[in-house]
Amino acid sequence: MSDSSKTRLGVFGFGCVGQGLYNVLSHSKGIKAEIRKICIKNASKKRSLPEHYFTLDKNELLFNDDIDVIVELIDDPVAAFEIVKTALQNGKAVVTANKKMLADNFEELFRLQLSSNVPLLYEASCCGCIPIIRNLEEYYDNDQLSAVEGVFNGSTNYILTKMFRENVSFETALSEAQVNGFAESDPSLDIDGYDAKYKLGIILAHSFGLFVKPGQLFNYGITHISDFDANYAKEKGYKIKLIAFCRKIGNTIAAGVLPRFITPESKLFGIDYEYNAVMVESIFSEYQYFVGKGAGSNPTGSAVLSDISALTYNYKYEYKKYQLHENLQVSNDFFINLYIRYNPANPLPPDIFEEVHEQYVSHNNAYMIGSVHFDRLVNSGIWEREDVNIITAAEPGIHGAAAAAGKSQEAELAISNK
């Protein structure tokens, strides 16, 4: 028999995260919540709960006065958006872990929260069990942020760790990530950097007050990392990790997702397997560092439960950075230090590098390391070439065009004075 004092949950989906939520909720003693109904799409699949929990009819949850909160945990972002939209319009609070659905429809969902006056919480959508969104909303609400970056995707981090620490092949590491529930149902979302990009879009709203479409952000994944690239990293004592970054440069935000060489001195060097890490840089509090499991059933389920708990005391996001109206915008008008490996039989465009810091050519492989204008890289299309791999240098050196112009002028002055 149910307890009327408990928050009554209607859950969509009972896969990896749904089962994780049920597990952590079952073992939690501090939160008064219970699952009333779970909507699924496959009735024939064997499940660990009694049949009375389940239904194929979404309306049994969305239009049920006996349910207070809708918890959306399905893979399909289009169906998820309709569920969340309907729930908000019907006055029900919503918790979701669907980062693609959020990223694709972020500003509309923000407006829906205002018009319906009910909260939408989504801590589990970014970096697993790390409470980064709430920290950005609450701890850094009056702080002037300079940058947020880190390992946002546990699946690629798991794969790269297996490759570097255990000399496992990419294919084997990916298969293990899927078996362990770390990789998405479509692995391309992880390995091509889309998952990290969706999370970056959400982070941008809470760190700099920007609602951006995923298409505005460049992402480049880990599928082109070759033995040559891995050996180069090992010889230098580096690791390779997929890094999502956003950095304020004047009134613009430099942002994107790229693999990066990580030195032993970096705090990200020891972040291995399915763990995530977020580094926050601000004017007043300087550097803060968050670490936690970024993939897996129970860690993500724990983040979902945290949002459910927050709803019990009427918590909602205030989008404080957005309310500041700083007139910032995401722009590719910045410079970044990159390693670009290519086939010497098919040279890079001669103008791709602003400055070249290091160069190597052999019979089968060549690479260049230097400063690249990001917009030039994006528009060049070289990132689509099968013989090319792009990795951010160990010292990314992200800076604006004005700084580059000043540096160029200093160089010209030095030459003229010789």
Residue 100 designated active-site: no
Q: Is 375 domain-assigned?
A: yes
The pLDDT score that the predictor gives to residue 286 is 86
Q: Is 162 domain-assigned?
A: no
Which uninterrupted H or E stretch holds 361? strand 355-361
Q: Is 204 domain-assigned?
A: no
Q: Is 279 domain-assigned?
A: no
The secondary structure of residue 364, as a DSSP letter, is: S
CA distance 141 to 326: 14
Q: Is 195 domain-assigned?
A: no
138, 130, 133: which is closest to 121 by C-alpha?
133
For each successive 10 residues of the chain (418 residues), what is the average pLDDT? 76 95 94 96 91 96 97 96 98 97 98 97 96 94 93 96 93 90 81 97 97 98 96 97 97 97 97 97 91 91 96 95 91 98 97 97 97 98 98 97 53 38
Provide the CB-side half-sphere exposure for 221 (13 A, CA): 19
Residue carrying the six token digits 């010889």:
235
Q: Is 228 domain-assigned?
A: no
Domain boundary among the residues 84, 99, 125 is at 125
CATH number of the domain where residue 375 is located: 3.30.70
Q: Which domain holds residue 398?
A: 334-416
DSSP notation for 231-274: HHHHHHT-EEEEEEEEEEETTEEEEEEEEEEE-TTSTTTT--TT
Could you tell me the CA-to-CA distances from 388 to 37, 221, 223, 226, 368 in Å, in that order? Answer: 49, 12, 11, 10, 11
Query: Per the residue annotation, which of 199, 241, 293, 321 is the catalytic one?
Result: 199
Domain boundary among the residues 103, 125, 147 is at 125
Q: Is 69 domain-assigned?
A: yes
Is the Cα torsion angle 60, 66, 70, 73 positive or negative in sign?
negative
Bridge partners of 392, per DSSP, are 260, 338
CATH number of the domain where residue 117 is located: 3.40.50.720
Helix (H, G, I), strand (E, B) or coil at 341: strand
The pLDDT score that the predictor gives to residue 415 is 34
The pLDDT score that the predictor gives to residue 407 is 52
Helix (H, G, I), strand (E, B) or coil at 96: strand
Could you tell me the CA-to-CA distances from 290 to 27, 88, 257, 278, 279 in Å, in that order? Answer: 25, 31, 19, 5, 6
Residue carrying the six token digits 């709960």:
49
Could you tell me the CA-to-CA distances from 336 to 195, 347, 355, 389 in Å, in that order? Answer: 22, 20, 10, 15
Whether 38 contacts 15, CB under 8 Å: no
CA distance 312 to 306: 10
The pLDDT score that the predictor gives to residue 3 is 58
The secondary structure of residue 216, as a DSSP letter, is: G
Q: Is 295 domain-assigned?
A: no
Report how many domains make up the chain.
Answer: 2
The pLDDT score that the predictor gives to residue 325 is 82
CA distance 131 to 102: 17
Domain boundary among the residues 76, 102, 125 is at 125
The pLDDT score that the predictor gives to residue 24 is 96
The pLDDT score that the predictor gives to residue 4 is 63
CA distance 38 to 31: 19
